[in-house]
């Protein structure tokens, strides 16, 4: 029985060349088979490049392309998000992002979560180097602008919805201007609080003071409402009394003017008699209130009060009225 032994030295150059051609053909065939198809998933879109010209492929499933001539870039179209003001993995605050100042010069720590989605895969891939980072910068700018125009009470308590709506509108306007191929789905204010414990206590003290202010104003208004009617009545009474005194003074002055005119008319007729009468009338009014001092020249002075005791003088057992 004859045994066949394989010897590599028995292979001719022609056979080696043939084997090499077969191997290369198989390899090329395999490369072409794996490089002429691509798969697009449900939450993806693909960008097909042909000599630099981009075309969007949005249908999911298996697609064909020309190997070495066409290339494919896939884009995830699911809703994604990033945090502003805190680390999304650890939850720790990022002070540089969170710390902001309000319109009434109060500091607050504010956290946001931004959700976005791809709207145009071609722009997302080629319009900018990092559209998500640009969106984050735009969001931070808009957030600081809106927070900076709001007072601290709105940021911490009552105005969160209005602030979110204003920030959303501002970001969408900026995205339209930059045309990044992504759009804002939603932005949510996660948390807002004073930056430190001391500031929180100070803020509570301010709130307490505001409540005290409102209470004081209410008490003051109550006191005013109680006292104002009485004060108005008193003012009315004073005005009426003043008006009565005014009229009385006018009447008195009018009477004095009339008496003076009568006296002057008498004076014109009888000057000497009128002057004497006026003198006696004046002395009659003054003497009862005067003090009488008698000095006899000896150095001793006697004061005699009242003068009424001299109004009646007894002479020779009779009474003489002065």
**pLDDT 10s digits, 31-59:** 555 567 778 888 888 888 888 788 887 78
pLDDT in tens, 273-313: 777 877 877 777 777 766 666 666 666 555 555 545 544 44
pLDDT over 90 percentage in the chain: 21
| Final residue belonging to a domain, choices 144, 174, 195 | 195
Q: Is residue 137 part of a domain?
A: yes
Please indicate, yes or no, whether residues 57 and 98 belong to a single structural domain of this protein: no
Banded pLDDT at 84 (limits 50, 70, 90): very high
88, 182: one domain: yes
Q: Are residues 93 and 168 in the same domain?
A: yes
Helices (H) and strands (E) in the chain, counts: 8, 13
For residue 164, which of 182, 134, 138, 143 has the smallest C-alpha distance?
Answer: 143
Q: Is 104 helix (H, G, I), strand (E, B) or coil?
A: coil
Q: What is the pLDDT of residues 146-163, one digit of tens each?
A: 999 999 888 988 888 999
Query: Is residue 311, in this structure, part of any structural domain at all?
Result: no
Q: Is residue 43 part of a domain?
A: yes
In this prediction, residue 51 carries a pLDDT of: 81
User: For residue 313, is it within any domain?
Assistant: no
Host domain of residue 51: 8-76
* pLDDT for 7 beyond 80: no
Is pLDDT above 90 for 24?
no
Helix (H) or strand (E) holding 110: strand 107-118
Considering the domain architecture, whether residues 176 and 213 belong to the same structural domain is answered as no
Cis status of the peptide bond prior to 306, with omega within 30 of 0: yes
Q: How far apart are CA 95 and CA 6, in angstroms?
A: 77
Number of domains into which the chain is organized: 3
Over residues 10-15, mean pLDDT: 66
Give the CATH number, domain containing residue 155.
3.30.479.30
For residues 57 and 128, membership in a common domain is answered with: no
Give the pLDDT band (50/70/90) at residue 271. confident
Inside any domain, residue 306: no
For position 131, what pLDDT does the model report? 93
Is 91 found in the same domain as 190?
yes
What is the number of alpha carbons within 13 Å of residue 214 lying toward its C-beta?
Answer: 5
- Same structural domain, 188 and 105: yes
The answer on 201 and 115 residing in a single domain is no
Three-state DSSP class for residue 183: strand
Do 279 and 227 reside in the same domain of the chain?
Answer: yes
**pLDDT at residue number 63:** 77
Rounded to the nearest integer, the mean pLDDT of the chain is: 80
Mean pLDDT of the region 241-256:
89
**Least confident stretch, 69-83, 188-202, 298-312:** 298-312
DSSP class of 10: G
């Amino acid at each position: 029985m004859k045994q066949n032994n394989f010897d590599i030295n028995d292979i001719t150059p022609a056979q080696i060349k043939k084997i090499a051609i077969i191997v290369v053909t198989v390899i090329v065939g395999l490369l072409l088979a794996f490089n002429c198809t691509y798969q697009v998933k449900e939450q993806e879109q693909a960008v097909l490049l042909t000599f630099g010209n981009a075309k969007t492929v949005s249908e999911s499933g298996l697609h064909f392309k020309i190997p070495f001539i066409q290339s494919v870039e896939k884009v995830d179209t699911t809703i994604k998000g990033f945090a502003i003001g805190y680390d999304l993995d650890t939850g720790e605050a990022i002070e540089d992002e969170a710390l902001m100042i309000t319109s009434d010069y109060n500091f607050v720590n504010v956290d946001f979560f931004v959700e976005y989605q791809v709207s145009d895969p071609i722009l997302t891939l080629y319009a900018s180097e990092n559209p998500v980072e640009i969106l984050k910068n735009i969001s931070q700018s808009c957030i600081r602008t809106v927070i900076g125009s709001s007072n601290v009470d709105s940021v911490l308590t009552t105005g969160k919805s209005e602030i979110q709506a204003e920030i959303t509108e501002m970001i969408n306007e900026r995205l339209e201007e930059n045309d990044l191929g992504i759009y804002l789905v939603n932005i949510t204010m996660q948390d807002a609080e004073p930056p430190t414990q001391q500031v929180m206590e100070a803020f509570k003290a301010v709130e307490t003071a505001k409540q005290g202010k409102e209470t004081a104003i209410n008490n003051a208004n109550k006191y005013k409402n109680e006292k104002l009617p009485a004060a108005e009545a008193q003012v009315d009474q004073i005005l009426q009394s003043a008006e009565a005194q005014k009229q009385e003074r006018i009447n008195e002055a009018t009477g004095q003017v009339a008496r003076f005119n009568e006296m002057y008319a008498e004076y014109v007729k009888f000057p000497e008699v009128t002057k004497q009468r006026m003198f006696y009338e004046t002395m009659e009014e003054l003497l009862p209130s005067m003090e009488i001092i008698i000095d006899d020249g000896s150095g001793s002075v006697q004061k005699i009060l009242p003068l009424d005791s001299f109004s009646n003088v007894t002479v020779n057992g009779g009474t003489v009225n002065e």
